[in-house]
Chains A and B, each alone.
Chain A
Amino acid sequence: MAKLATIVVALVAGGVLGAVGIIAMMGAVNPSADHVAQTTEIVDASTSVYGTR
């Protein structure tokens, strides 16, 4: 019973972490996303924008 509880907790925690982590990572590495690390070709005057909302 006790060992089963540990396994259940591990499965639930692992499941939550896995689901959240995988979906978050998919979003992060999605090539269509305007990611912060993406390099941008400089082509126009909008290069001097501090940020966008």
Chain B
Amino acid sequence: MNARAAGRGRALRGAAGRVKAAGGAFAGPTMALHGVAALVTAVVLAPLVRPGYVLRYDMVFVPRQPLNWEMLAPADSLPRAVPLDALVSVANLAVPGWLLQRIALVAVVYLAALGAARLMPAERLGPRVVAALAYAWTPFLAERLLLGQWALLLTYATLPWLVLAARDLRAGGRDRASGVAVPPNAITRDADDRKADAPNPEAGARNAHARTADADNAEAGTRNAEAGYVGRPGRGALARLVLAAAPAAVTPTGGLIALAAVLVLLPLRSRMTAIAVASVVGLNAPWLVAALTGPAGGVSDPEGVPAFAARAENWAGAWWSLAGTGGIWNAQTVPESRASVLTPLATLLVLAIAAAGLSALRRALGDRLLILAAGGFLLAAAGAGPGEPLLEWIVGNVPGGGLLRDGQKFLIPYALVLALAFAAGAGRLAGALARRFEAPAGRMLLIGAALLPVALLPDLAFGALGALRPVSYPADWNAVAKQVDARPGEVLSLPFEGYQRYRWTDGVVVRDPAPRYLDAPVLINDALRVGAVTVDGESPRAAMVGEHLAAGKPSAELGFRWVLVRLGSGNEPPADVLTGLRLAYAGPGLQLWENPAAPPAATAGADRRLMALTAHGLAAVLVIFYALTLLRVKATPW
């Protein structure tokens, strides 16, 4: 039996165990993995038991986010949160914001841990637990969580599930191509074959190739049997693939990562691939349509490339930080443990163990996931290396190129491969120790490997040691929202800065909550200040308003019905800017000024609204269709 077949055999034995688990004989390991995922989630998100909202940087949840056209197709900015905002608004109709935030954050950590454990090609529980912790307790997750990018983390959480579905879809495609049936008992048959081969190694070698194909089929059958599917396995896998891509596609970056994953993981010339790609493009339609029909320019400020490039977190440099799945651009959202002198050495240890497991991972999952991971890593590293000039040109000249400027986002596939390879390596070393000495020695090593990510990043625990502490909105916000509700009109939010620290957020920087809190179009500045550098935004209107205000001219001339002033930053607008406005509300944290002479706000064109609505509808129909398909082909919907 060649190495490939041997590897498949090992994976099969793992799959066989899972079938038994599905049958109830070994339900323990499955429950144990849920238990591990729940434990990790509870430890990471512990402060969320307190009431209030976790407000950090891009993470802004409000009590009830209104559903308006701005959520479907922003009038003045790039659709960075399309269709995310519309989705949150719709969910807010049934679930209050504080609960929705908890559901989203719990889903991120729980699904990441469980997904990695399920994708891990191992028969024993130990390496699966190692994979769960290695993927759910990473610098990437910590740093993006602290930057409030929970929607990007939905991509992180669902990628293992997408890879799992892609693998099954690939195997299912081969079943149909070869005309081989995929009975749920394929594992037993294969195992019996191997037993029969045992006394006759030559015959076994001759049949090795055939068995490899069988192994693929058996794996697909096993996984489908495990998941409770009946009928054609490919349809269930396709539905799972698209449904796994759906949470990723709530933002442009996540949607691109999901699309790239589908393109790389599935065979090029296949009807299923064409359907999968078309479906994932359909999921991306809302932000694509909003971007193509919006007034904001498609190109971005090239200065954003060095500002958002991967950053060195310790003495080992930016690329080594990326190798450990860290390296986010913002020093303020990096757990302090990343600066430890030992972190680069511990990263070396993690990489060495992962190297030991890489060959086993390749045998079990193939090369495609590795290619995806390598591509993601190169993209992440490009801005912090010789690729910077090229990236600057792309960002400054190619519409949509701005999506690439914060390249560390694309580290997600690499983080998954690293976690799985690390777990496979730990499993291999543990097996060697157990064979050479005794079983407890191997178990001890697995326990050490499982705890290594926690020891490396202890300050992710308990909401990054309190950084994810919920706070309450001042009562001013409800009062202002009521006034704007009563007389709707465009709102200008001042100080004209998109992000700000507030006393009531305990000094944490947070994006202006006004666009999500108020049921009206709100113009905020989309230029971003990174240290001393200001990265220009894409909205021509915001740029014009910024120049007007910088010149000290009255904001009344700009035609907004309302001007909201957020107090307490020490950066309040001068009196001249408020000339000609009538004070409608004054609270300790907010002032609302009304412009009595404001003309009626121009509404977005009906064509644009129709196209945005159609795109959102298409994405929704796709999700509903595949969910129903999954329910139909799956014996047990839960």
A interface residues with partner B (beta carbon < 8 Å) = 1-3, 5-6, 9-10, 12-14, 16-21, 23-30, 33-45, 47-53
Contact = CB atoms under 8 A, between A and B. Distances in A.
Given A50-B499, A52-B332, A2 B437 contact: yes
Contacts of A49: 499, 509, 529-531
A28 B334 contact: no
Given A19-B342, A35-B467, A53-B311, 6 more contacts: A2-B437, A13-B448, A41-B507, A51-B147, A51-B332, A52-B531
Contact of A50 (B441, B502, B529): B529
Contacts of A14: 448
A39 B531 CA distance: 19
B2 interface: no
Contact of B509 (A26, A45, A51): A51
Contacts of A13: 444-445, 447-449
A37 B465 contact: yes
A36 B437 contact: no
A28 B465 contact: yes
* Residue of A25, A41, A50 most packed against chain B (CB within 10 A): A50
Contacts of B529: 48-50
Contacts of B57: 50-51
Nearest to A35: B336
Contact of A28 (B147, B459, B506, B569): B459
Contacts of A26: 340
Interface stretch (B259-267, B409-417, B450-458, B605-613): B450-458
A1 B469 CA distance: 50
Which A-B residue pairs are the 9 nearest by beta carbons?
A13-B448, A51-B330, A48-B497, A21-B455, A24-B337, A40-B507, A5-B437, A28-B459, A37-B467
21 contacts: A9-B445, A13-B445, A13-B449, A16-B452, A17-B448, A17-B455, A20-B456, A23-B340, A28-B335, A28-B465, A35-B336, A37-B469, A47-B570, A48-B501, A48-B571, A49-B529, A49-B531, A50-B57, A50-B498, A52-B531, A53-B530
A18 B57 CA distance: 33
A1 B444 contact: no
Contacts of B447: 13
Contacts of B457: 24
B503 interface: yes
Interface string B465-484: 11101000000000000000
A19 B605 CA distance: 62
A24 B509 contact: no
A42 B504 CA distance: 11
Contact of A51 (B331, B452, B502, B568): B331
A27 to B, nearest CB: 5
Contacts of B449: 13
B349 A16 contact: yes
Contacts of A35: 336, 459, 465, 467
A51 B440 CA distance: 47
B501 A5 contact: no
Given A9-B445, A37-B464, A45-B570, A24 B340 contact: yes
B110 interface: no
Contacts of B307: 53
A39 to B, nearest CB: 5
Interface string B338-372: 01111100100100000000000000000000000
A52 B440 CA distance: 47
B448 A2 contact: no
B546 to A, nearest CB: 13
B498 A6 contact: no
Contacts of B501: 40, 42, 47-48
B497 to A, nearest CB: 4
B433 interface: yes
Contacts of A44: 570-571
B499 A39 contact: no
Contacts of B248: none
B495 interface: yes
A1 B437 CA distance: 8
A1 B307 CA distance: 56
Contacts of B503: 42
Contacts of B444: 6, 9-10, 13
A5 B465 contact: no
Contacts of B509: 47, 49-51
Contact of A36 (B334, B438, B448, B451): B334
Contacts of B495: 48
A41 to B, nearest CB: 7
Interface string B200-213: 00000000000000
B146 interface: yes
Given A9-B441, A53-B531, A20 B342 contact: yes
Contacts of A27: 336-337, 339-340
B149 interface: no
B438 A2 contact: yes
Contacts of A12: 448
Contacts of A52: 330-332, 530-531
Nearest to B433: A9
B455 to A, nearest CB: 4
A37 B337 contact: no
B319 interface: no
B458 A36 contact: no
A21 B457 CA distance: 8
